[in-house]
Structure 1
Protein backbone atom coordinates (compact mmCIF):
# COMPACT_ATOMS: atom_id res chain seq x y z
CA UNK A 1 0.00 0.00 0.00
CA UNK A 2 1.41 3.46 -0.94
CA UNK A 3 2.38 5.55 2.12
CA UNK A 4 0.01 8.43 1.25
CA UNK A 5 -2.98 6.08 1.15
CA UNK A 6 -1.99 4.62 4.52
CA UNK A 7 -1.70 8.13 6.00
CA UNK A 8 -5.18 9.01 4.71
CA UNK A 9 -6.69 5.83 6.17
CA UNK A 10 -4.92 6.29 9.50
CA UNK A 11 -6.02 9.94 9.71
CA UNK A 12 -9.66 9.11 8.97
CA UNK A 13 -9.55 6.30 11.55
CA UNK A 14 -8.03 8.65 14.14
CA UNK A 15 -10.75 11.26 13.50
CA UNK A 16 -13.48 8.66 13.95
CA UNK A 17 -11.83 7.34 17.12
CA UNK A 18 -11.45 10.86 18.56
CA UNK A 19 -15.10 11.58 17.85
CA UNK A 20 -16.13 8.40 19.70
CA UNK A 21 -13.83 9.23 22.64
CA UNK A 22 -15.22 12.77 22.87
CA UNK A 23 -18.79 11.45 22.95
CA UNK A 24 -17.85 8.90 25.63
CA UNK A 25 -16.08 11.43 27.87
CA UNK A 26 -19.05 13.80 27.68
CA UNK A 27 -19.65 17.49 27.04
CA UNK A 28 -17.33 18.68 29.78
CA UNK A 29 -14.49 18.00 27.40
CA UNK A 30 -15.95 20.66 25.10
CA UNK A 31 -16.62 23.31 27.75
CA UNK A 32 -14.56 24.59 30.67
CA UNK A 33 -11.90 21.95 31.41
CA UNK A 34 -10.36 20.95 34.70
CA UNK A 35 -6.57 20.53 34.86
CA UNK A 36 -6.76 16.77 34.38
CA UNK A 37 -9.26 17.07 31.52
CA UNK A 38 -6.98 19.60 29.85
CA UNK A 39 -4.01 17.22 30.11
CA UNK A 40 -6.14 14.32 28.88
CA UNK A 41 -7.37 16.28 25.86
CA UNK A 42 -3.84 17.31 24.83
CA UNK A 43 -2.44 13.79 25.30
CA UNK A 44 -5.21 12.06 23.36
CA UNK A 45 -4.86 14.61 20.55
CA UNK A 46 -1.09 14.04 20.37
CA UNK A 47 -1.52 10.26 20.35
CA UNK A 48 -4.06 10.48 17.53
CA UNK A 49 -1.76 12.75 15.51
CA UNK A 50 1.17 10.37 15.99
CA UNK A 51 -1.00 7.43 15.00
CA UNK A 52 -1.89 9.21 11.74
CA UNK A 53 1.64 9.88 10.45
CA UNK A 54 3.93 7.40 12.24
CA UNK A 55 4.06 4.70 9.58
CA UNK A 56 6.95 2.91 11.30
CA UNK A 57 4.88 2.17 14.37
CA UNK A 58 2.20 -0.47 14.64
CA UNK A 59 -1.26 1.07 14.51
CA UNK A 60 -2.76 -1.17 17.17
CA UNK A 61 -0.23 0.08 19.73
CA UNK A 62 -1.47 3.64 19.24
CA UNK A 63 -5.09 2.47 19.51
CA UNK A 64 -4.25 0.62 22.73
CA UNK A 65 -2.67 3.76 24.22
CA UNK A 66 -5.70 5.86 23.26
CA UNK A 67 -8.03 3.28 24.79
CA UNK A 68 -6.05 3.24 28.06
CA UNK A 69 -6.14 7.05 28.35
CA UNK A 70 -9.88 7.02 27.64
CA UNK A 71 -10.57 4.36 30.28
CA UNK A 72 -8.41 6.16 32.86
CA UNK A 73 -10.21 9.47 32.16
CA UNK A 74 -13.61 7.77 32.50
CA UNK A 75 -12.53 6.08 35.73
CA UNK A 76 -11.27 9.31 37.29
CA UNK A 77 -14.43 11.19 36.26
CA UNK A 78 -16.54 8.48 37.91
CA UNK A 79 -14.46 8.57 41.10
CA UNK A 80 -14.63 12.37 41.31
CA UNK A 81 -18.42 12.15 41.16
CA UNK A 82 -18.34 9.92 44.24
CA UNK A 83 -15.45 11.44 46.21
CA UNK A 84 -15.48 15.08 47.31
CA UNK A 85 -11.89 14.83 48.56
CA UNK A 86 -10.52 13.57 45.23
CA UNK A 87 -12.62 16.13 43.38
CA UNK A 88 -10.98 18.89 45.39
CA UNK A 89 -7.52 17.49 44.57
CA UNK A 90 -8.13 17.14 40.81
CA UNK A 91 -10.46 20.07 40.12
CA UNK A 92 -9.38 22.39 42.94
CA UNK A 93 -11.56 24.64 45.09
CA UNK A 94 -13.12 28.03 44.56
CA UNK A 95 -11.13 30.86 46.15
CA UNK A 96 -12.61 34.02 47.64
CA UNK A 97 -10.58 37.02 46.45
CA UNK A 98 -12.83 39.80 47.79
CA UNK A 99 -15.01 39.42 50.88
CA UNK A 100 -17.28 42.09 52.35
CA UNK A 101 -15.61 44.61 50.05
CA UNK A 102 -12.06 43.81 51.26
CA UNK A 103 -9.38 42.25 49.04
CA UNK A 104 -7.89 39.08 50.55
CA UNK A 105 -4.22 39.56 49.67
CA UNK A 106 -3.23 36.11 50.99
CA UNK A 107 -5.66 34.38 48.61
CA UNK A 108 -4.44 36.54 45.72
CA UNK A 109 -0.92 35.32 46.47
CA UNK A 110 -2.03 31.67 46.63
CA UNK A 111 -3.62 31.95 43.20
CA UNK A 112 -0.65 33.98 41.85
CA UNK A 113 -2.94 36.82 40.75
CA UNK A 114 -1.78 40.41 40.79
CA UNK A 115 -3.99 43.38 41.60
CA UNK A 116 -3.74 44.45 37.95
CA UNK A 117 -5.06 41.06 36.82
CA UNK A 118 -7.88 41.25 39.37
CA UNK A 119 -8.90 44.71 38.14
CA UNK A 120 -8.76 43.46 34.54
CA UNK A 121 -11.14 40.60 35.36
CA UNK A 122 -13.49 43.03 37.11
CA UNK A 123 -13.49 45.31 34.05
CA UNK A 124 -14.52 42.31 31.94
CA UNK A 125 -17.62 42.29 34.18
CA UNK A 126 -18.13 46.05 33.53
CA UNK A 127 -17.04 46.85 37.08
CA UNK A 128 -14.53 49.70 37.31
CA UNK A 129 -14.71 50.54 41.01
CA UNK A 130 -13.74 48.17 43.80
CA UNK A 131 -16.10 50.01 46.13
CA UNK A 132 -19.03 48.50 44.16
CA UNK A 133 -17.96 44.90 44.92
CA UNK A 134 -19.13 42.91 47.92
CA UNK A 135 -17.70 39.46 47.03
CA UNK A 136 -15.53 38.07 44.21
CA UNK A 137 -14.87 34.34 43.85
CA UNK A 138 -12.34 32.68 41.55
CA UNK A 139 -13.90 29.41 40.38
CA UNK A 140 -12.03 26.17 39.66
CA UNK A 141 -12.09 26.84 35.90
CA UNK A 142 -10.54 30.30 36.29
CA UNK A 143 -13.77 32.30 35.93
CA UNK A 144 -14.27 35.24 38.28
CA UNK A 145 -17.81 35.60 39.63
CA UNK A 146 -18.75 38.86 41.33
CA UNK A 147 -21.53 39.86 43.72
CA UNK A 148 -22.17 43.60 43.81
CA UNK A 149 -23.11 45.44 46.97
CA UNK A 150 -26.84 45.70 47.57
CA UNK A 151 -27.06 49.37 46.57
CA UNK A 152 -25.24 48.71 43.28
CA UNK A 153 -27.29 45.73 42.12
CA UNK A 154 -29.69 46.25 39.18
CA UNK A 155 -33.24 47.17 40.07
CA UNK A 156 -35.65 44.22 39.91
CA UNK A 157 -39.46 43.98 40.12
CA UNK A 158 -39.06 42.16 43.46
CA UNK A 159 -37.33 45.21 44.97
CA UNK A 160 -40.37 47.29 44.00
CA UNK A 161 -42.78 44.72 45.40
CA UNK A 162 -44.09 43.91 41.93
CA UNK A 163 -45.18 40.48 40.72
CA UNK A 164 -44.43 39.48 37.16
CA UNK A 165 -45.78 36.71 35.01
CA UNK A 166 -43.67 33.66 34.33
CA UNK A 167 -41.69 34.10 31.13
CA UNK A 168 -41.79 31.31 28.58
CA UNK A 169 -38.63 30.00 26.97
CA UNK A 170 -38.37 31.15 23.32
CA UNK A 171 -38.51 28.22 20.90
CA UNK A 172 -37.46 27.94 17.26
CA UNK A 173 -40.40 26.57 15.25
CA UNK A 174 -39.05 26.96 11.68
CA UNK A 175 -35.43 26.36 10.74
CA UNK A 176 -34.07 26.47 7.19
CA UNK A 177 -37.59 26.43 5.77
CA UNK A 178 -38.76 23.36 7.73
CA UNK A 179 -41.46 23.37 10.41
CA UNK A 180 -40.36 21.75 13.69
CA UNK A 181 -43.59 20.01 14.65
CA UNK A 182 -42.19 18.39 17.82
CA UNK A 183 -41.23 21.81 19.17
CA UNK A 184 -44.68 23.22 18.36
CA UNK A 185 -46.33 20.35 20.22
CA UNK A 186 -44.06 20.79 23.26
CA UNK A 187 -45.17 24.43 23.68
CA UNK A 188 -48.85 23.68 23.13
CA UNK A 189 -49.15 25.02 19.58
CA UNK A 190 -50.12 23.32 16.33
CA UNK A 191 -48.90 23.33 12.76
CA UNK A 192 -52.22 24.82 11.64
CA UNK A 193 -51.71 27.77 14.02
CA UNK A 194 -48.28 28.43 12.58
CA UNK A 195 -49.52 28.17 9.00
CA UNK A 196 -52.35 30.61 9.74
CA UNK A 197 -49.81 33.08 11.17
CA UNK A 198 -47.71 32.74 8.03
CA UNK A 199 -50.79 33.19 5.87
CA UNK A 200 -51.56 36.50 7.59
CA UNK A 201 -48.10 37.68 6.56
CA UNK A 202 -48.44 36.19 3.06
CA UNK A 203 -45.46 33.91 3.62
CA UNK A 204 -44.65 30.27 3.00
CA UNK A 205 -42.42 27.93 4.94
CA UNK A 206 -39.80 27.87 2.20
CA UNK A 207 -39.41 31.68 2.43
CA UNK A 208 -38.35 31.54 6.08
CA UNK A 209 -34.81 31.05 7.32
CA UNK A 210 -35.80 31.07 11.00
CA UNK A 211 -39.01 31.59 12.96
CA UNK A 212 -39.21 31.72 16.73
CA UNK A 213 -42.07 31.90 19.21
CA UNK A 214 -40.92 34.53 21.70
CA UNK A 215 -41.44 34.53 25.47
CA UNK A 216 -44.50 36.76 25.00
CA UNK A 217 -46.08 34.29 22.56
CA UNK A 218 -45.53 36.41 19.44
CA UNK A 219 -43.87 35.09 16.29
CA UNK A 220 -40.51 36.45 15.15
CA UNK A 221 -39.59 35.74 11.51
CA UNK A 222 -36.33 36.11 9.60
CA UNK A 223 -36.55 35.61 5.82
CA UNK A 224 -33.99 34.11 3.47
CA UNK A 225 -33.93 37.40 1.55
CA UNK A 226 -32.81 39.20 4.73
CA UNK A 227 -35.91 41.37 4.74
CA UNK A 228 -35.68 42.50 8.31
CA UNK A 229 -38.93 43.29 10.08
CA UNK A 230 -38.02 45.16 13.26
CA UNK A 231 -40.55 45.40 16.04
CA UNK A 232 -41.77 49.01 16.10
CA UNK A 233 -42.95 50.36 19.43
CA UNK A 234 -45.59 53.05 19.14
CA UNK A 235 -44.51 56.48 20.41
CA UNK A 236 -47.59 56.61 22.63
CA UNK A 237 -46.55 53.36 24.33
CA UNK A 238 -43.07 54.77 24.96
CA UNK A 239 -44.51 57.89 26.57
CA UNK A 240 -46.88 55.78 28.66
CA UNK A 241 -44.03 53.62 29.93
CA UNK A 242 -41.92 56.69 30.73
CA UNK A 243 -44.84 58.20 32.65
CA UNK A 244 -45.45 54.97 34.60
CA UNK A 245 -41.77 54.73 35.61
CA UNK A 246 -41.83 58.32 36.87
CA UNK A 247 -45.03 57.58 38.76
CA UNK A 248 -43.34 54.59 40.43
CA UNK A 249 -40.46 56.84 41.48
CA UNK A 250 -42.89 59.38 42.92
CA UNK A 251 -44.76 56.63 44.78
CA UNK A 252 -41.53 55.39 46.33
CA UNK A 253 -40.67 58.92 47.46
CA UNK A 254 -44.16 59.26 48.97
CA UNK A 255 -43.82 55.95 50.81
CA UNK A 256 -40.47 57.12 52.19
CA UNK A 257 -42.13 60.23 53.63
CA UNK A 258 -45.18 58.43 54.98
CA UNK A 259 -43.42 55.66 56.91
CA UNK A 260 -41.95 56.19 60.38
CA UNK A 261 -39.74 53.09 60.40
CA UNK A 262 -36.09 54.16 59.70
CA UNK A 263 -35.29 50.85 57.97
CA UNK A 264 -38.28 51.15 55.67
CA UNK A 265 -37.36 54.77 54.93
CA UNK A 266 -33.88 53.67 53.86
CA UNK A 267 -35.28 50.85 51.66
CA UNK A 268 -37.67 53.25 49.89
CA UNK A 269 -34.91 55.82 49.51
CA UNK A 270 -32.46 53.35 47.93
CA UNK A 271 -35.19 51.90 45.67
CA UNK A 272 -36.13 55.38 44.47
CA UNK A 273 -32.47 56.16 43.68
CA UNK A 274 -32.05 52.92 41.75
CA UNK A 275 -35.23 53.54 39.78
CA UNK A 276 -34.10 57.11 39.06
CA UNK A 277 -30.83 55.76 37.61
CA UNK A 278 -32.68 53.26 35.44
CA UNK A 279 -35.06 55.94 34.16
CA UNK A 280 -32.07 58.10 33.27
CA UNK A 281 -30.51 55.21 31.33
CA UNK A 282 -33.78 54.44 29.51
CA UNK A 283 -34.73 58.04 28.75
CA UNK A 284 -32.98 58.19 25.32
CA UNK A 285 -35.03 55.19 24.20
CA UNK A 286 -38.35 56.34 25.62
CA UNK A 287 -38.40 59.99 24.51
Structure 2
Protein backbone atom coordinates (compact mmCIF):
# COMPACT_ATOMS: atom_id res chain seq x y z
CA UNK A 1 0.00 0.00 0.00
CA UNK A 2 2.85 2.36 0.88
CA UNK A 3 4.34 1.79 -2.59
CA UNK A 4 1.13 2.89 -4.34
CA UNK A 5 0.92 6.02 -2.17
CA UNK A 6 4.53 6.83 -3.09
CA UNK A 7 3.83 6.38 -6.83
CA UNK A 8 0.70 8.57 -6.60
CA UNK A 9 2.58 11.28 -4.72
CA UNK A 10 5.50 11.31 -7.18
CA UNK A 11 3.18 11.44 -10.20
CA UNK A 12 1.14 14.31 -8.76
CA UNK A 13 4.25 16.31 -7.85
CA UNK A 14 5.82 15.54 -11.25
CA UNK A 15 2.64 16.57 -13.06
CA UNK A 16 2.46 19.88 -11.18
CA UNK A 17 6.16 20.58 -11.75
CA UNK A 18 5.95 19.89 -15.50
CA UNK A 19 2.72 21.90 -15.77
CA UNK A 20 4.40 24.90 -14.12
CA UNK A 21 7.38 24.47 -16.44
CA UNK A 22 5.18 24.56 -19.57
CA UNK A 23 3.46 27.69 -18.25
CA UNK A 24 6.83 29.38 -17.74
CA UNK A 25 8.10 28.39 -21.20
CA UNK A 26 4.96 29.73 -22.91
CA UNK A 27 2.65 28.56 -25.69
CA UNK A 28 5.16 29.00 -28.52
CA UNK A 29 7.45 26.40 -26.94
CA UNK A 30 4.58 23.89 -26.94
CA UNK A 31 3.15 24.59 -30.40
CA UNK A 32 6.50 24.72 -32.24
CA UNK A 33 8.16 21.42 -31.41
CA UNK A 34 11.74 21.32 -32.68
CA UNK A 35 14.26 18.45 -32.35
CA UNK A 36 15.63 20.24 -29.27
CA UNK A 37 12.16 20.28 -27.70
CA UNK A 38 11.73 16.58 -28.51
CA UNK A 39 14.93 15.82 -26.58
CA UNK A 40 13.61 17.94 -23.71
CA UNK A 41 10.39 15.91 -23.55
CA UNK A 42 12.35 12.63 -23.39
CA UNK A 43 14.67 13.93 -20.66
CA UNK A 44 11.80 15.25 -18.54
CA UNK A 45 9.91 11.97 -18.89
CA UNK A 46 13.03 10.12 -17.78
CA UNK A 47 13.37 12.39 -14.73
CA UNK A 48 9.85 11.60 -13.54
CA UNK A 49 10.34 7.90 -14.33
CA UNK A 50 13.52 7.76 -12.25
CA UNK A 51 11.74 9.37 -9.31
CA UNK A 52 9.06 6.67 -9.56
CA UNK A 53 11.19 3.54 -9.83
CA UNK A 54 14.70 4.44 -8.68
CA UNK A 55 15.04 4.23 -4.90
CA UNK A 56 18.10 6.51 -4.99
CA UNK A 57 16.16 9.31 -6.72
CA UNK A 58 13.70 11.24 -4.57
CA UNK A 59 11.19 14.04 -5.02
CA UNK A 60 13.72 16.76 -4.24
CA UNK A 61 16.15 15.48 -6.89
CA UNK A 62 13.35 15.33 -9.47
CA UNK A 63 12.19 18.88 -8.69
CA UNK A 64 15.76 20.16 -8.82
CA UNK A 65 16.29 18.45 -12.20
CA UNK A 66 13.07 19.90 -13.64
CA UNK A 67 14.01 23.37 -12.36
CA UNK A 68 17.54 23.13 -13.77
CA UNK A 69 16.24 21.86 -17.13
CA UNK A 70 13.72 24.72 -17.27
CA UNK A 71 16.51 27.24 -16.62
CA UNK A 72 18.63 25.66 -19.38
CA UNK A 73 15.76 25.85 -21.89
CA UNK A 74 14.94 29.46 -20.94
CA UNK A 75 18.62 30.39 -21.23
CA UNK A 76 18.75 28.81 -24.68
CA UNK A 77 15.63 30.73 -25.71
CA UNK A 78 17.10 34.02 -24.47
CA UNK A 79 20.36 33.36 -26.34
CA UNK A 80 18.55 32.65 -29.61
CA UNK A 81 16.39 35.77 -29.18
CA UNK A 82 19.38 38.02 -28.52
CA UNK A 83 21.98 36.52 -30.88
CA UNK A 84 20.59 35.81 -34.34
CA UNK A 85 23.57 33.72 -35.45
CA UNK A 86 22.94 31.14 -32.72
CA UNK A 87 19.43 30.32 -33.97
CA UNK A 88 20.48 28.03 -36.77
CA UNK A 89 22.81 26.08 -34.46
CA UNK A 90 20.35 25.71 -31.58
CA UNK A 91 16.98 25.70 -33.35
CA UNK A 92 17.83 24.81 -36.93
CA UNK A 93 16.39 26.55 -39.96
CA UNK A 94 13.84 25.93 -42.72
CA UNK A 95 14.86 23.95 -45.80
CA UNK A 96 13.57 24.70 -49.30
CA UNK A 97 12.39 21.33 -50.62
CA UNK A 98 10.62 22.71 -53.72
CA UNK A 99 12.07 25.71 -55.53
CA UNK A 100 10.38 27.26 -58.59
CA UNK A 101 8.31 24.11 -59.04
CA UNK A 102 11.32 21.76 -58.96
CA UNK A 103 12.00 19.27 -56.16
CA UNK A 104 15.27 19.87 -54.32
CA UNK A 105 16.24 16.22 -53.94
CA UNK A 106 19.40 17.04 -52.01
CA UNK A 107 17.35 18.79 -49.31
CA UNK A 108 14.97 15.82 -49.14
CA UNK A 109 17.90 13.47 -48.50
CA UNK A 110 19.45 15.85 -45.97
CA UNK A 111 16.19 15.95 -43.99
CA UNK A 112 15.48 12.21 -44.42
CA UNK A 113 12.23 12.95 -46.23
CA UNK A 114 10.95 10.72 -49.04
CA UNK A 115 8.53 11.67 -51.81
CA UNK A 116 5.55 9.95 -50.18
CA UNK A 117 6.10 11.93 -46.98
CA UNK A 118 6.50 15.15 -48.98
CA UNK A 119 3.22 14.50 -50.81
CA UNK A 120 1.46 13.78 -47.51
CA UNK A 121 2.65 17.08 -46.04
CA UNK A 122 1.60 18.96 -49.18
CA UNK A 123 -1.89 17.40 -49.13
CA UNK A 124 -2.34 18.87 -45.65
CA UNK A 125 -1.82 22.26 -47.35
CA UNK A 126 -4.46 21.51 -50.01
CA UNK A 127 -1.84 20.71 -52.67
CA UNK A 128 -2.65 17.36 -54.27
CA UNK A 129 -0.15 17.45 -57.12
CA UNK A 130 3.49 18.53 -57.15
CA UNK A 131 2.78 20.47 -60.33
CA UNK A 132 0.66 22.89 -58.27
CA UNK A 133 3.52 23.88 -55.95
CA UNK A 134 5.93 26.73 -56.67
CA UNK A 135 7.80 26.78 -53.34
CA UNK A 136 7.74 24.52 -50.29
CA UNK A 137 9.66 25.01 -47.04
CA UNK A 138 10.25 22.27 -44.50
CA UNK A 139 10.07 24.12 -41.19
CA UNK A 140 12.10 23.30 -38.08
CA UNK A 141 9.06 21.72 -36.39
CA UNK A 142 8.59 19.26 -39.28
CA UNK A 143 5.64 20.97 -40.99
CA UNK A 144 5.50 22.24 -44.56
CA UNK A 145 4.82 25.81 -45.62
CA UNK A 146 3.86 25.89 -49.29
CA UNK A 147 3.16 28.48 -51.97
CA UNK A 148 1.03 27.46 -54.95
CA UNK A 149 1.73 28.48 -58.52
CA UNK A 150 -0.36 31.52 -59.55
CA UNK A 151 -2.65 29.50 -61.82
CA UNK A 152 -3.62 27.22 -58.92
CA UNK A 153 -4.19 29.85 -56.23
CA UNK A 154 -7.68 30.76 -55.04
CA UNK A 155 -8.69 34.28 -56.12
CA UNK A 156 -9.07 36.76 -53.28
CA UNK A 157 -11.81 39.32 -52.68
CA UNK A 158 -9.41 41.98 -53.92
CA UNK A 159 -8.77 40.01 -57.13
CA UNK A 160 -12.51 39.79 -57.78
CA UNK A 161 -13.00 43.45 -56.81
CA UNK A 162 -15.77 42.61 -54.35
CA UNK A 163 -16.79 44.48 -51.21
CA UNK A 164 -15.11 43.29 -48.05
CA UNK A 165 -17.59 41.54 -45.73
CA UNK A 166 -17.78 42.55 -42.09
CA UNK A 167 -15.71 40.35 -39.80
CA UNK A 168 -17.95 38.57 -37.31
CA UNK A 169 -16.69 37.10 -34.06
CA UNK A 170 -19.38 35.08 -32.26
CA UNK A 171 -19.32 35.07 -28.46
CA UNK A 172 -19.67 31.76 -26.64
CA UNK A 173 -22.38 31.96 -24.00
CA UNK A 174 -22.99 28.27 -23.18
CA UNK A 175 -20.37 25.51 -23.20
CA UNK A 176 -21.08 21.93 -22.06
CA UNK A 177 -24.38 22.94 -20.48
CA UNK A 178 -22.83 25.76 -18.42
CA UNK A 179 -23.26 29.51 -18.85
CA UNK A 180 -20.08 31.47 -19.61
CA UNK A 181 -20.83 34.37 -17.26
CA UNK A 182 -17.85 36.53 -18.27
CA UNK A 183 -19.13 36.55 -21.87
CA UNK A 184 -22.65 37.36 -20.70
CA UNK A 185 -21.18 40.42 -18.98
CA UNK A 186 -19.49 41.45 -22.24
CA UNK A 187 -22.89 41.35 -23.97
CA UNK A 188 -24.52 43.21 -21.09
CA UNK A 189 -26.89 40.29 -20.44
CA UNK A 190 -27.92 38.60 -17.23
CA UNK A 191 -29.04 35.00 -16.65
CA UNK A 192 -32.73 35.99 -16.66
CA UNK A 193 -32.40 37.66 -20.07
CA UNK A 194 -30.61 34.58 -21.46
CA UNK A 195 -33.32 32.27 -20.08
CA UNK A 196 -35.98 34.31 -21.86
CA UNK A 197 -34.14 34.01 -25.17
CA UNK A 198 -33.69 30.25 -24.69
CA UNK A 199 -37.39 29.78 -23.89
CA UNK A 200 -38.31 31.57 -27.11
CA UNK A 201 -36.20 28.94 -28.89
CA UNK A 202 -37.99 26.15 -27.01
CA UNK A 203 -35.35 25.33 -24.39
CA UNK A 204 -36.35 25.23 -20.73
CA UNK A 205 -33.00 24.31 -19.18
CA UNK A 206 -29.42 25.35 -19.93
CA UNK A 207 -28.31 21.78 -19.20
CA UNK A 208 -30.02 20.67 -22.43
CA UNK A 209 -27.59 22.74 -24.50
CA UNK A 210 -24.13 21.56 -25.51
CA UNK A 211 -23.07 24.81 -27.19
CA UNK A 212 -24.53 28.24 -27.82
CA UNK A 213 -23.06 31.46 -29.16
CA UNK A 214 -24.34 34.92 -30.02
CA UNK A 215 -23.54 36.94 -33.12
CA UNK A 216 -25.06 40.38 -33.59
CA UNK A 217 -26.49 39.89 -37.08
CA UNK A 218 -27.30 36.17 -36.96
CA UNK A 219 -28.50 36.04 -33.35
CA UNK A 220 -28.38 32.95 -31.16
CA UNK A 221 -26.92 29.69 -32.48
CA UNK A 222 -27.66 26.58 -30.40
CA UNK A 223 -26.56 22.95 -30.55
CA UNK A 224 -27.93 20.33 -28.15
CA UNK A 225 -26.40 17.07 -26.95
Give the alignment's TM-score, normalised by structure 2.
Answer: 0.84
Q: Give the corresponding residue for 2:134.
A: 134
Q: Give the corresponding residue for 2:176.
A: 176
Distance of 2:27 and 2:223 partners within structure 1 = 30
Alignment of 1:1-287 (within 5 A): 2-186=2-186, 188=187, 190-191=189-190, 194-204=194-204, 205-214=206-215, 216-223=217-224, 226=225
Distance change (3 Å), C-alpha of 1:101 and 1:19: same
Distance change (3 Å), C-alpha of 1:81 and 1:216: farther
Q: Give the corresponding residue for 1:242.
A: none
CA RMSD of aligned residues (A): 2.5
Q: How far 1:81 moved relative to its partner?
A: 2.2
- Cα contact 2:172–2:213 (8 A) shared by 1: yes
- Cα contact 1:14–1:52 (8 A) shared by 2: no
Q: Which has the higher contact order (CA 8 A, sep 6+)?
A: 2
- Cα contact 2:34–2:142 (8 A) shared by 1: no
Distance change (3 Å), C-alpha of 1:59 and 1:117: closer
Q: Structure 1: any 5+ residue segments left out of the alignment? A: 227-287
Q: How far 1:196 moved relative to its partner?
A: 4.0
The structure with the largest alpha-carbon Rg is 1
Q: Structure 2: any 5+ residue segments left out of the alignment? A: none
Residue-by-residue CA offset, 1:75-113 (whole Å, 9 max, x unaligned):
112222222222222211112222222222333333232
Which structure has more strand as a fraction of its residues?
2
Q: How far 1:150 moved relative to its partner?
A: 1.6
Distance change (3 Å), C-alpha of 1:217 and 1:89: farther
Q: How many correspondences in the alignment?
A: 223
